[in-house]
Amino acid sequence: VVDNQALRDEIKALLKAKNAVLVAHYYTEDAIQELAEETGGVIADSLEMARFGAEHPAETLVVAGVKFMGETSKILSPEKTVLMPTLEATCSLDIGCPADEFAKFCDAHPDRTVVVYANTSAAVKARADWVVTSAIALDVVQHLSDQGEKIIWAPDQHLGRYVQTQTGADVLLWDGACIVHEEFKAKGILDLKAIYPDAAVLVHPESPQSVVEIADVVGSTSQLLKASQTLENETFIVATDRGIFYKMKQASPGKRFVEAPTAGSGATCRSCAHCPWMALNSLELLRNALRDGTDEIHVDESVRVDALKPLQRMLDFKK
């Protein structure tokens, strides 16, 4: 489309003029992921987005994703300007874990180490001992459990239960959920397996336990992407946001990728998974933010300093 092309050209010129780089999540629309690729930015999960943004020399980071990802970038790179296509893009996990209530919960269990998922506000991270993403959650909790530590896990109860099951750690769960992954249904996936018996089932651990139990591979977006490349199967049933298909198809053009159903009522995918907040990111809003400097992320300095500690712990752990 000509209009789209003009918009893309405008964004490319603005990125150069503002010494900015585009950091896009796997769940954003194809056009945004393409643009990140074409302009020397990155398409990544939240862990790699944060790392990339912190290490890149650009003065401005444009973070296409949801708000906690922009905040994480700002926490790690306070000297950089962090823009987002829209600050309205949030996350049900972030919403479901208000900082004041969470602080009370932690205060009531002072003997527990506080581990929070990256999908939280800066203020919640500031109350934590550790921040983890799904790519690193098992390793960190195993490490803590091996040292005899008892844990508070927040906010995603499904990921928390998965981590608890896999590590045997003593985990107290907050009761949050991702509205996208929580909708995947084991029955719908099994119906699809009947059509594609050789398919591998790839599941993000924010999905319910019954879905995790029928997975061939459970992992973060980056781990599922890797599995889609390394496994020999021709067909993959994928239980995560369909935005990931852009990279999966690009990496393995000969393979078939099928969206895991969320309706549970049969093999036809009626309401396929796509995060409504990720979907708010558009080329147009991205252009506006870059052009006008709107939708800039600000994090209170005292919160930032406290949130940096558990985040840095995660980044150092992985090295």
Smaller CB separation from ligand CIZ, 188 or 243: 243
* Min dist. Cβ of residue 241 to ligand CIZ (A): 7
Q: Which of 180, 192, 307, 311 binds ligand SF4 (CB under 6 A)?
A: 180
Regarding 60 and contact with ligand SF4 (CB under 6 A), the answer is no
Tokens coding 303: 């919160």
Give the residue among 120, 117, 162, 163 at the shortest CA–CA distance from 143: 163
Smaller CB separation from ligand SF4, 91 or 189: 91
Interface of this chain with ligand CIZ, residues 219 to 238, rule: CB under 6 A = 220-221
* Min dist. Cβ of residue 119 to ligand CIZ (A): 6
Residue 307 site contact among ligand CIZ, ligand SF4, none (CB < 5 to 8 Å, cut-off depends on kind)? none
User: Distance between CA 246 and CA 25 in Å, rounded?
Assistant: 11
Smaller CB separation from ligand SF4, 74 or 181: 181
Residue 179 site contact among ligand SF4, ligand CIZ, none (CB < 5 to 8 Å, cut-off depends on kind)? ligand SF4
Q: Which of 49, 93, 144, 311 binds ligand SF4 (CB under 6 A)?
A: 93
Residue 221 site contact among ligand SF4, ligand CIZ, none (CB < 5 to 8 Å, cut-off depends on kind)? ligand CIZ
Q: Which of 84, 118, 163, 303 binds ligand CIZ (CB under 6 A)?
A: 118
How is the chain classified by DSSP, letter by letter?
A: -HHHHHHHHHHHHHHHHTTEEEEEETTS-HHHHHHHHHTT-EEE-HHHHHHHHHH---SEEEEES-HHHHHHHHHH-TTSEEE-S-TT---HHHHTS-HHHHHHHHHT-TTSEEEEESSS-HHHHHT-SEEE-TTTHHHHHHHHHHTT--EEEESBHHHHHHHHHHH---EEEP-B--TTGGG--HHHHHHHHHHSTTPEEEE-TTS-HHHHTT-SEE--HHHHHHHHHHS--SEEEEES-GGGHHHHHHH-TTSEEEEPPSS-SSSS-SS----TTGGG--HHHHHHHHHH--SB----HHHHHHHHHHHHHHHHHH-
Q: Which of 29, 48, 71, 241 binds ligand SF4 (CB under 6 A)?
A: 241
- Which amino acid appears at position 25 of this protein? H
Q: Which of 28, 86, 113, 119 binds ligand CIZ (CB under 6 A)?
A: 119
* Min dist. Cβ of residue 93 to ligand SF4 (A): 5
Alpha carbon 58 to chain centroid distance?
Answer: 23
Regarding 7 and contact with ligand SF4 (CB under 6 A), the answer is no
Regarding 179 and contact with ligand SF4 (CB under 6 A), the answer is yes
Regarding 275 and contact with ligand SF4 (CB under 6 A), the answer is yes
* Min dist. Cβ of residue 220 to ligand CIZ (A): 6
Regarding 133 and contact with ligand CIZ (CB under 6 A), the answer is yes
Residue 46 site contact among ligand SF4, ligand CIZ, none (CB < 5 to 8 Å, cut-off depends on kind)? ligand CIZ
Report which residue's Cβ sits closest to ligand CIZ: 45
Smaller CB separation from ligand CIZ, 7 or 203: 203
Regarding 33 and contact with ligand CIZ (CB under 6 A), the answer is no
User: Distance between CA 188 and CA 271 in Å, rounded?
Assistant: 12
Give the residue among 276, 315, 236 at the shortest CA–CA distance from 52: 315
Give the residue among 52, 60, 57 at the shortest CA–CA distance from 25: 52
Chain residues in the site for ligand CIZ (CB under 6 A): 45-46, 118-119, 133-134, 178, 206, 220-221
Chain residues in the site for ligand SF4 (CB under 6 A): 66, 91-93, 119, 178-181, 206, 241, 275, 277-278
